[in-house]
Amino acid sequence: MGRSGREAVEKYLPDIKRNLRTDVVIVNGENAAHGHGITGKICKDLYDLGVDCITTGNHIWGQKEIILYIDRDPRLLRPDNFPKGTPGKGTYLHHLDDGRKILIVNYMGRVFMEPLDDPFAAVNDLMKQVVLRKNVDAIFIDFHAETTSETMAFAQMLDGKASGIVGTHTHIPTADARVLTKGTAYQTDAGMCGDYDSVIGVHKEIPILKFTRKMPTERMTPADGDGTLCGTFIETDDITGLAKNIAPVIAGPFLKNTMPDF
């Protein structure tokens, strides 16, 4: 979320990658450019920090330049359930140096969101073509949604078919990281990377005025204090492709810091 979020990733990600010995790093970057969308330069900066794939959501088109850029960058995803003909793609097959392959997929929910194609039908169609340990070693899905119920229903439907499903969009990390009964790692929302001395990453005064006066306000401007990095760490089983562990990752001020201990 804005500059604070980018600086938090720059500050904390290198040590996290080294300490956890990560194979792949996925970042949702849809609010990276001053809270609205992302640019090609920011994508490059994130890749230079060791990010392997960037997912997004409803703010993907917040910066006009990305419309022409996205088709040139296969690692920048927009939700796969956008209508056919929309620029960009919603899936990326990442190849590790040892030959393993992880399919990264981006979907967007529809409850209290812009109307898109049905993500449940779209992912069911995808799962007819992609099977864990048959043609990919792992499947990770970023489900960008407003409501916890839609995210949970999506994950429960896919339990045992994906390695991990993590929600984004609400900017608040949830406390429900777990491996579902059939082996899919899940957390309802990874939380934002940004300044938590705010209202979901926005300067506090702006949304407070909006809620108390019910009048138009200035543009929602990202808070610019010290940023916190929030995310999840998932460990998969190379035999099954399913999850062995999942744990939250939090580094920075205002929230209780936590790192996986497995």
Active site residues: 59
Single out the residue of 105, 9, 109, 91 nearest to residue 50, CA to CA.
9
Calpha distance 155→108 (Å, rounded)? 13
Q: Are the beta carbons of 49 and 42 closer than 8 angstroms?
A: no
Calpha distance 30→78 (Å, rounded)? 9
Place of tokens 């990010």: 51
> Six-digit token pair at 190?
């990874």
Task: Enumerate residues 6+ apart whose C-beta is below 8 A from 258.
Answer: 247, 248, 249, 250
